[in-house]
Chain A
Amino acid sequence: MTQVAEPDPGMIGGVPTPPLAILPRPERLFGQRAARFDVLAEGSNLGPYLRFLADLARVQARLAADLPAPTPVPSDRVALARASRMPPIDRHDAGAEPLLDDTLSALCREAAGIEMPAAARLALDAVAAATPDDRRWLLGNVLDDAIPVDSPAPHLFAAAAVQVHLARIAATLDARQLVPIRTGVCPACGGRPASSVVTGVQGAEGTRYAACSCCQTLWNEVRVKCLCCGSTKGIGLQSVDDGTGEATVRAETCDECGSWVKQMLQTKNPALDPVADDVGTLGLDALMRGGTWRRGGVNPFLIGY
């Protein structure tokens, strides 16, 4: 989690109000995510997949640094979004932006150097060679949070490009200009959370931030509240019982709408990454499949769970 240090009189007395949103710094974010994937890959059964995603995150970090700067959201759009309580980034329009297509092309080019199984290579080649119409279809599905379950592989590369592109646009926003929209909806791009983190950063200790699966913005959400339906009733937590009782990644379940979203305790382990550790804790997803709840967190790297 990153935060720009600014003078804040609210800090006096130790009761500051946590910021609504923490915008991503794309290059640093994807770099740290790559490092986290590397750590998780050590000694994990999922090692090969996590190493592949680490390399992909490194490509994302490189693209975030090297690609031409995106056009910031015009200030009148931001003002209109504020007035209508809507996210300033329009994900629907984003699908047609030439820079997003360029980002996908660059990602395909760079990702070709990653070591990967034949199936992944085949999907990457198919995306690289796809017609503009087909590419718009891929990107559109990702931006709509509607990745078809029969083709997760090509959509993974499209999603990686969308993450880079939207994170770079989100980085140009002013977090103070954002307004809360609705529980479980990103105030920057309207995306849904991959998971949420209970942060330990100064000024917001113990508060929960949902992590946007699309633009990587972190936004404040009250704890003990379902991120799918906003209910505060019937909230429970499930974790893999390893005998210690000290689980740092838990599934927050909601009996009202029957869904669950992962919650990670950065207060216990600041290294936890809302996307990398979501993949790394696939075992929790596997156990939760046996329960009555369905997964509510959106993660293009975990389609099928």
Chain B
Amino acid sequence: MNIDLSRRGFLKLAGAGVAATSLGALGFGEAEAAELAHVRAFKLAATTEARNTCPYCSVACGIIMYSRVDDATGKKRIFHIEGDADHPTNRGTLCPKGAALKDFVNAPTRLTQPRIRKPGGTEFEPVSWDDALDRIARALKDDRDANFLSLNEAGVPVNRWTTTGFLAASATTNETAWLTYKVVRSMGVVAFDNQARV
């Protein structure tokens, strides 16, 4: 910062002219040095706060998720979830299900990958996403080809596929919800519901 010090001669006696901290300039340099020496032994700990939407129901409460790196795994882990006080829907409040979200996220039984129980099988086995999506697409196509109705009893053209149902998720944006509706209804799916109502 450029200061015209010659104009400020009244400060010369008060030690102006040299960059200093408030503490140093006021004569508390010793206390400052002691604190700086003390804190040198410490390290910084990083945490992250992230906004999200509770996935349980259509109220779509705002939540703040706290995470930090777990020393054991070296990966980020959520250690606290609370209602987002800035969110106009819930203003920081959560229902008992939402309040227990942390256990839901960190649950050892949580489903983290697609799994399949083959016809006649008794156990679920993991499959890749590519494999899972291919199988789902195949099954949908076969079912639609076999059961799609293009005319009703009166011979009026319809877009009706009654043998497959679709359940959408609740933690979606308006855009996702719009796209979901367009895709599902365009295919003729009649049994269309939302997990938000469960």
Contacts and interface: CB of A to CB of B under 8 A. Distances in A.
Nearest to A16: B91
A150 B21 contact: no
Contacts of B43: 240-241, 287
Interface stretch (A57-65, A101-109, A130-138, A183-191): A130-138
A149 B93 CA distance: 45
B155 interface: no
A69 interface: no
A231 B143 CA distance: 48
A126 B14 contact: yes
Contacts of A156: 22, 26
B42 A153 contact: no
B22 A236 contact: no
Contacts of A304: 19-24
Contacts of A305: 21
Contacts, number: 185
A123 interface: yes
B158 to A, nearest CB: 45
Interface stretch (B5-13, B115-123, B134-142): B5-13
B63 to A, nearest CB: 11
Contact of B13 (A44, A122, A302): A122
A131 B91 contact: no
Contacts of A130: 10
Contacts of B48: 235-237
Interface in A254-305: 282-283, 286-288, 291, 300-305
Interface residues of B, number: 54
Interface in A1-20: 14-18
A18 B87 CA distance: 11
Given A131-B10, A150-B18, A288-B44, A222 B31 contact: no
B51 A224 contact: yes
Interface in B13-72: 13-28, 30-32, 34-36, 38-40, 42-51, 64, 68
Nearest to A253: B46
B3 interface: yes
Contact of B27 (A118, A148, A232, A286): A118
Given A150-B20, A154-B14, A237 B35 contact: no
Contacts of B51: 224, 232
B21 A152 contact: yes
A303 B27 CA distance: 14
Nearest to B36: A286
B1 A151 contact: no
B193 interface: no
Contacts of B22: 152-153, 156, 300-304
Given A49-B23, A206-B82, A304-B21, A235 B49 contact: yes
A232 B27 CA distance: 40
A208 B68 CA distance: 21
A43 B24 CA distance: 20
Contacts of B98: none
A247 B36 CA distance: 19
Given A52-B28, A156-B22, A240 B44 contact: yes
Interface residues of A, number: 67
B103 interface: no
A45 B11 contact: no
Given A207-B85, A239-B44, A122 B32 contact: no
B90 interface: yes
Contacts of B90: 15
**Nearest 7 A-B pairs (CB), nearest first?**
A117-B27, A304-B21, A206-B85, A119-B27, A283-B39, A241-B45, A151-B16
Interface of B: 1, 3, 5, 8, 10-11, 13-28, 30-32, 34-36, 38-40, 42-51, 64, 68, 79, 82-86, 88, 90-93
Interface of A: 14-18, 44-49, 52, 116-120, 122-123, 125-126, 129-131, 134, 137, 146, 148-154, 156, 204-208, 222-224, 232, 235-242, 245, 247, 250, 282-283, 286-288, 291, 300-305
Given A45-B34, A224-B51, 17 more contacts: A120-B26, A120-B27, A123-B15, A126-B11, A137-B8, A150-B3, A150-B19, A151-B3, A152-B26, A204-B85, A206-B82, A207-B92, A235-B48, A235-B49, A238-B46, A283-B42, A302-B22
25 contacts: A45-B35, A46-B23, A48-B31, A116-B27, A117-B26, A119-B26, A148-B1, A149-B20, A150-B18, A151-B14, A151-B16, A153-B14, A153-B25, A156-B26, A206-B85, A207-B85, A207-B86, A223-B49, A223-B84, A223-B86, A288-B44, A291-B44, A301-B22, A303-B25, A304-B19
